[in-house]
Copies of this chain bind each other. A is one copy, B any other.
């Protein structure tokens, strides 16, 4: 994803419509009775014409049935539709779970007249409870009937679990002289950490990407978005991020590399970044959106490792909840990571207020620091003063409400 800084990419324009903003995509969410609240919980996403695709999945060895099924179906680079349910993760559900995941793909394929092998399946919710498959299948049928003319909002809502708001983003961008659209939706608010999380994301574009270009663009985009956020350090069994490119915007096929590809990759990285930051902003019980920047690291990997360590520190996240400029916990978390750190060089600032320099407390304006920490958005910069590498990670604070939400999730 390296881009020549002398050749500015054409600007992105914000668009409406989320996962159906791009031409040739329809989606609908319906209430199939999986959520006790009666809110939408089954989602169908459809490309009217064949689409190239790529997906990334959880790295957890305990992968849910839909992940196992979808890994196989996306392997050939063609996905025509996606079906998802919220309220039940279909994870740790054994042979029945596998049969249920396949039944979801088959029912979606039958309703949409596409092969089941071209349908990606995703589930999110409680682990270890058999899927109420009859309801899910009925929901799929209903969603298929409502695809035409339904705004994407119901689809975005149907994948929510503990999320408090639907997450959608879309942009238009120029590539090879044409204007394309890239849009998507995501869910996730807890169990969020790098290498994916309890998150589902579906991104669509009408640019004519090849499957190989989809894979390259998605790998680059997730590295700087979904893999740079952490809510609670947990890696879920169900994480899935799908990119579909149906070429409905016309033009020649775009393979990986070159200017046309770079424009698409830039738009994808933007949409994924927006969705990722929305997930953090909706972190379970979160009251603050925290940007952790580590600079001055010896290597990019060190910068990322140290930033993830600071952003992942339970104690540090609780200090920020308490409005406490506890730079000692930031320095300690960086020092406990595998990144090379010289304790006598560390500098830490909160919202621009330097609180520690050369590893030691400096006199700082406590009022200014308190004001910065009282904001909803807080930026913490840890400068290791060792090299020129930098990484940014987004996280949220850890609060009483996070404990409350997760103390009785299963019941």
Binding site for B on A (CB under 8 A): 59-63, 89, 91-94, 96-97, 126-130, 190-191, 232-237, 313-315, 318-319, 321-322, 324-329, 331-336, 340-344, 346, 356, 358-361, 398-400, 402-404, 406-411
Partner of A315, one of B93, B406, B408: B406
| Contact yes or no, B232 A315, CB < 8 A | yes
Q: Given the complex, which residues of B lie within 8 Å of A356, measured CB to CB?
A: 92, 128
**A62-B343, A127-B332, A324-B411 known; A406-B92 Cβ under 8 A:** no
Q: In the bound complex, how far is the Cα of B93 from the Cα of A358, in angstroms?
A: 9
Please give the distance in Å from A382's CB to the nearest CB on chain B. Answer: 11
| Contact yes or no, B237 A314, CB < 8 A | no
How many protomers of this protein does the assembly include?
2
A61-B335, A232-B314 provided; 15 other pairs, C-beta below 8 A?
A61-B343, A63-B335, A92-B327, A92-B359, A127-B326, A127-B328, A234-B332, A234-B336, A237-B332, A237-B335, A315-B406, A319-B409, A322-B406, A324-B411, A326-B409
Closest to A340 in B: B61
Partner of A324, one of B92, B359, B410: B410
| Contact yes or no, B128 A319, CB < 8 A | no
| Contact yes or no, B127 A319, CB < 8 A | no
Please give the distance in Å from A313's CB to the nearest CB on chain B. Answer: 6
Q: Given the complex, which residues of B lie within 8 Å of A360, measured CB to CB?
A: 92-94, 96-97, 128
| Contact yes or no, A128 B361, CB < 8 A | yes
Closest to A97 in B: B360
Q: Nearest 7 CB-CB pairs, A to B?
A: A127-B328, A62-B335, A322-B407, A94-B360, A235-B336, A61-B335, A128-B328
**A331-B127, A343-B63 known; A314-B234 Cβ under 8 A:** yes
| Contact yes or no, A92 B343, CB < 8 A | yes
| Contact yes or no, B403 A318, CB < 8 A | yes
| Contact yes or no, A406 B331, CB < 8 A | no
Q: Given the complex, which residues of B lie within 8 Å of A325, measured CB to CB?
A: 410
Q: Given the complex, which residues of B lie within 8 Å of A322, measured CB to CB?
A: 406-409, 411
**A94-B360, A128-B327, A408-B324 known; A61-B190 Cβ under 8 A:** no
Please give the distance in Å from A334's CB to the nearest CB on chain B. Answer: 7
Q: Can you report 19 A-B residue pairs in the complex whose CB atoms are below 8 A from each other?
A: A59-B336, A60-B335, A61-B343, A92-B359, A93-B360, A94-B344, A94-B359, A96-B360, A126-B328, A127-B331, A233-B314, A234-B314, A234-B333, A237-B328, A315-B406, A322-B406, A326-B410, A328-B410, A398-B403
